[in-house]
Structure 1
Amino acid sequence: MPSRSDERVITPRLLRDWALPNPAGDKTSRGTVLVVGGARCTPGAVLLAGVAAMRAGAGRLQLAVAEESAVPLSISVPEAKVVGLTPDGIPSDEVLELAAEADVIALGPGLDDVDRTIRLMKAVLGVAGAHAALVLDAYALGALSKDPGLLSRPRAVLTPNLVEAGHLLGREPDDDLASAAHELAARHDAVVSLYGHIAAPDGSCWREESGDAGLGTSGSGDVRAGIVAGLLARGAEPAQAACWAAFAHAVSGQRLAPRYGRIGFLARELVDEVAHTIASV
């Protein structure tokens, strides 16, 4: 099983040699991202993920959140189409129509009930197009740990934190996060991005070394998942999107540190650095 010594370090040079697609034309050429999440008390997670996706280059953004949050969120993110989930969390026909047409679906930010999330994922993924890429984060990973059959498509990226990785593994991850990421990638046939360690199902693995303590803040994981979704929308392959996103997430934090200190910045401030960080590579 690959270990830390087998990982390629993600550097600007590696990324320049692995250049992102640069679609020409109108917004449709950069793909449509649908973010599904946002329980009643946590709609901000969807906001963070959605705006991060656009900062990473997605052309169109659609958000599905708890019904009572839809109108305020549409005002906060005027660039997005925002639709509501039904009171029990099940997607409406309108949400399912969006899911059927989306190029990328990011599931999980801001959800807070595993059983509802399982029902939601079954409905959304049941209508998703064969071409659609998938990003699973937060409670969507808890749902996957209970029902591994939820994930049955080849273009998927999982973005667990340590707690979520433990649920997926069925045990606490040890200090060798490279091996943990590889185990999950092989088990779910998906790219896994775990605290700077990225693993692909074919055994390829990378490590991002720029991250610091400030990234461990509320909403930071939602931003990272959104960056992955935006990069997938503009045409990146899953491993490429995960590696570029890990770098953009970490270096955006570095850029904020001179103003706020190592641990003083907010996740929403990370979002505003993403586009410049990607362009600077």
Structure 2
Amino acid sequence: MPSRSEERVITPAVLREWPLPDPQGDKESRGTVLVVGGSRHTPGAVLLAGVAALRAGAGRLQLAVTESTAAALSIAVPEAKVVGLAETGGGSVAGDLPSALLELAAGADVLAIGPGLDDVAETGRLLHAILDTAGKDAAVVLDAYALGALSREPDLLAGRAQRAVLTPNLVEAEHLLGREPGDDLAAATMALAHRYECTVSLFGHIAAPDGRAWREESGDAGLGTSGSGDVRAGIVAGLLGRGADPAQAACWGAFAHAVSGLRLAPRHGRTGFLARELVDEVAYTIATV
């Protein structure tokens, strides 16, 4: 496993040597991102992830949330196509998915699954249906309860052609590892990348399954705010949509997320900014690397 000293530190110079695909043509050329999540009580998580994907450069956005919140979300994000999903009595997204969503999943370039979901069993059913339907060339970002479902079924991604990025927080990483991550987050991140054979972004550490590792050092305490993880997952999804490979999207995404927080700190203090304000800084942060 790589040590902290073996990780490459992500700096603007490193990113300039690893430029994102140049956006060309119309919105289709920058990818379609489908975000699936949002219980009756947490539709805002899908909003944050979806708008972050657009700010990161995705061309088209599609959102799927519980039927009871779909109309409100379509008004809040007029740039997106919104699909309503059946919900359980408790307001969670039900695992029985409508054909309209499966059609969107089959045509999406990137699927971000998890923001705002709150029932791990239903999420597991949902994941199976979506991953079985998604195109082989699609990319997948798993966050929040989607990671909980993966921890219960570690082979869920095995043998699938889709490229995946996991964006856990420390609690989710513990579930995925089956143990506490410990102080050596570089080693924990690489262990996750090897176990699930995909790129992992954990608390500023990024690891690819081929052994490459990076570290983002700009992140501060303010990023630990409600909804911040949804923003990070959305940024990664948007970068994948515009053509970045998984490791590149994770590295650029970690930098954009962290530096957007730094830009807000002079106005709101280190811990006073909101996740929705992070979203508004993402495009500028990426453009000024």
Question: TM-score, normalising length from structure 1?
Answer: 0.99
Distance 2:108 2:43 in 1: 20
Distance 2:220 2:114 in 1: 24
Work out whether 1:185 is the aligned partner of 2:199.
Answer: no
Give the counterpart letter for 1:267 in structure 2: A
Work out whether 1:8 is the aligned partner of 2:8.
Answer: yes
What residue number does 1:63 align with?
A: 63
Distance 1:182 1:232 in 2: 21
Deviation at 1:150, TM superposition (A): 1.9
Q: Which runs of 5+ in 2 are unaligned?
A: 89-93
Deviation at 1:153, TM superposition (A): 3.4
What residue number does 1:168 align with?
A: 176
Work out whether 1:141 is the aligned partner of 2:147.
Answer: yes
What residue number does 2:32 align with?
A: 32
Residue 252 of structure 1 aligns to a residue whose secondary structure is helix
Deviation at 1:154, TM superposition (A): 4.8
RMSD of aligned residue pairs (Cα, Å): 0.7
Deviation at 1:87, TM superposition (A): 2.1
Q: Deviations over 1:162-196 (max 9, x none)?
A: 00000000011100000000000001110000000
Deviation at 1:23, TM superposition (A): 2.7
Give the counterpart letter for 2:227 in structure 1: G
What residue number does 1:224 align with?
A: 232
CA contact (8 A) 1:32 1:60 kept: yes
What residue number does 1:118 align with?
A: 124
Q: Which runs of 5+ in 1 are unaligned?
A: none
The percentage of counterpart residues that share the same residue type is 75
What residue number does 1:75 align with?
A: 75
Distance 2:162 2:2 in 1: 21
CA contact (8 A) 1:64 1:84 kept: yes
Distance 1:268 1:153 in 2: 33
CA contact (8 A) 1:154 1:190 kept: no
Distance 1:138 1:112 in 2: 9
CA contact (8 A) 1:48 1:268 kept: yes
Deviation at 1:148, TM superposition (A): 1.6
Give the counterpart letter for 1:18 in structure 2: W
What residue number does 1:97 align with?
A: 103
Residues matched between the structures, number: 281
Question: TM-score, normalising length from structure 2?
Answer: 0.96
What residue number does 1:256 align with?
A: 264
What residue number does 1:213 align with?
A: 221
Distance 2:124 2:98 in 1: 15
Q: Deviations over 1:96-138 (max 9, x none)?
A: 0000000000000000010000000011111000010000000
CA contact (8 A) 2:36 2:114 kept: yes
Deviation at 1:35, TM superposition (A): 0.2
